A and B are shown apart, each in its own frame.
Chain A
Amino acid sequence: MAVLVVPSLSVRDARIAFDGHLVADRLSFDAPAGQTTCLLGRSGVGKTSLLRHLAGLLPGTTRAAPLAYMAQQDRLLPWLGVLDNVLLGYRLRGDEAARRAAEPRARALLAEVGLGDRLSALPRTLSGGMRQRVALARTLCEDRPVILMDEPFAQLDAVTRLDLQDLAVRLLAGRTAVLVTHDPLEALRVGHEVRVLHGSPFTVGTVIAPPGPVPRDPADPALLALQARLIRDLRGTA
């Protein structure tokens, strides 16, 4: 694997608006290099907008570094099999040597997300959860220094979700990751830092850094106490 130069991400005094609706104004936010930051907030608060801002996908924005972006929708190409979907970035960039080099990684990732036996299956033959796992494998296969993920585990059952959180933590190690979620426990399990978004236009709350290495044990009483606090926080700012 190539040595990655891992940057931090930062937003200074940004303004996000769509169709005259102000999502955020004078927004400042930092995601530390090589760590996973979880954005937590209720639906519609603007988590996805902030993520898209970081990805350079909003008008007038540029991205800070090469990145992999996983949207809420799986965005699998229906005419490609599972393996080819995971290798899509390499196919599009047209670098055949890199694609061949990445293929064992893609296969290993698919095996880890439990789809090692469905390599040539077309997306329409897969369930929603399986499709999301392919999208996750595609995102992690990109091998980028910055990874942005929008509710990557939303469609998974509880057990698979825990497994894939562990997998993601392992593969995100050493990269700068921002992960959007509306599940406080998920944020506390995988995030080095958790930031709560609230208000309209939204503001980003102070850094919450749960103790201990990720992935954290969901049964840890300290974590559960923090979860209770986060839920109170989220409810109180409806």
Chain B
Amino acid sequence: MRPLITALGLLAAWELLVRLTGVPTYILPPPSRIASVLVDRFDLLLEQAIWTGAEMILGFALGLALGAALAIVFAASAGWRRWALPLVIVSQAIPVIAVAPLLVLWLGYGMASKVAMAALVIFFPVVSSLYDGLRRTDEGWLELARTMDAPPRAILLQIKLPAALPAFASGARIAAAVAPIGAVIGEWVGASAGLGYLMTQQLARGQTPLAFAALFVLCLLGLGLYTATDRLLRQLVPWQSFQGD
């Protein structure tokens, strides 16, 4: 309830500021104007939101799956770890934004390049969090498993992997928060649909209120993805007690 009051207060201050200073609408539209655009252009915004939402969710799922698979491979195989792990770390030195035009060049203006972009952005936090979790298994559990004659595969799947789920959950939460960034950057560089595309297009035309409305919907999408992910992760890791709930 309190964050809502804070948000409403900020919106009121924004409205007041625009009215008092008389800033032109194409520079900073007042919230009331953005709200009316939201209502008037609802169909357009919804259509674009579905497009961008699909990019986000597909990219999120792809990045999560690839990241988790690679982390498990690294944990299971010293060979892979030695040959490929340094590359994964070094790859983070490449600014993802700089890769976006290349992805559009290779994968086209459609959805694929945006999904790839989102997957690329979240890949690293997922790999590093899960791999880290897999390496930090409680020594006592491993010892117990060894005295029980557990094969390495069972130790990985039944001990290390569940023990790493809380760490993986942290990575997945970060991934959910940054997945929209990947999708929108992809749309800015070159697209024919989506909220990011709508924003750049409308800003260029001086239709700032519609751009703001698109931004607002984008925030809702990001929030939705994060909240849904957070809920799912709590189901996945029920033995972890959360403090401060």
Taking a contact as CB atoms under 8 Å apart, the answer to whether B149 and A66 are in contact is yes
Interface check B148, CB cutoff 8 A: yes
Which range contains the number of B residues in contact with the other chain? 20 to 34
Interface string of B143-163 (1 = CB under 8 A from A): 111111111001100110011
A73's contact among B140, B159, B240, B241, by CB below 8 Å, is which?
B140
Taking a contact as CB atoms under 8 Å apart, the answer to whether A77 and B159 are in contact is yes
Interface check B141, CB cutoff 8 A: yes
Interface check A236, CB cutoff 8 A: no
Q: CA–CA, A124 to B154, complex, Å? A: 23
Q: CA–CA, A122 to B165, complex, Å? A: 16
In the complex, number of A-B residue pairs with CB atoms less than 8 Å apart: 61
- CB nearest neighbor in B for A94: B154
A75's contact among B140, B151, B154, B241, by CB below 8 Å, is which?
B140
Taking a contact as CB atoms under 8 Å apart, the answer to whether A93 and B162 are in contact is no
Chain B residues with Cβ below 8 Å from A38 are none
Taking a contact as CB atoms under 8 Å apart, the answer to whether B148 and A89 are in contact is yes
Chain B residues with Cβ below 8 Å from A88 are 144, 148
Q: Which of B204-245 contact A (CB under 8 A)?
A: 237-241
Taking a contact as CB atoms under 8 Å apart, the answer to whether B147 and A75 are in contact is no
The smallest C-beta distance from B237 to any residue of chain A, in angstroms, reads 8
Chain A count of residues within 8 A CB distance of the other chain = 23
Taking a contact as CB atoms under 8 Å apart, the answer to whether B140 and A92 are in contact is no
Chain B residues with Cβ below 8 Å from A91 are 154, 158
Chain A residues with Cβ below 8 Å from B141 are 75, 77
Q: CA–CA, A123 to B238, complex, Å? A: 12
Q: Which of A64-120 contact B (CB under 8 A)?
A: 66-69, 71, 73, 75, 77-79, 88-89, 91-94
Chain B residues with Cβ below 8 Å from A124 are 239, 241
The smallest C-beta distance from A177 to any residue of chain B, in angstroms, reads 15
In the complex with contacts A57-B143, A71-B143, A92-B148 CB distance below 8 A? yes
Taking a contact as CB atoms under 8 Å apart, the answer to whether A71 and B149 are in contact is no
Chain B residues with Cβ below 8 Å from A55 are 147
The smallest C-beta distance from A202 to any residue of chain B, in angstroms, reads 22
Interface check A186, CB cutoff 8 A: no
- CB nearest neighbor in A for B148: A89
Q: CA–CA, A78 to B241, complex, Å? A: 11
Q: CA–CA, A63 to B148, complex, Å? A: 12
Interface check A151, CB cutoff 8 A: no
Taking a contact as CB atoms under 8 Å apart, the answer to whether B148 and A94 are in contact is no
Interface check A142, CB cutoff 8 A: yes
14 cross-chain CB contacts under 8 A: A57-B143, A63-B147, A68-B147, A68-B148, A71-B143, A75-B144, A78-B240, A79-B162, A79-B239, A92-B145, A94-B151, A122-B238, A123-B239, A142-B148
If A79-B165, A124-B239 are given as contacts, then 9 extra A-B residue pairs at C-beta distance below 8 Å, sorted by A number, are A57-B147, A66-B149, A68-B147, A75-B138, A77-B141, A79-B239, A93-B150, A93-B154, A94-B154
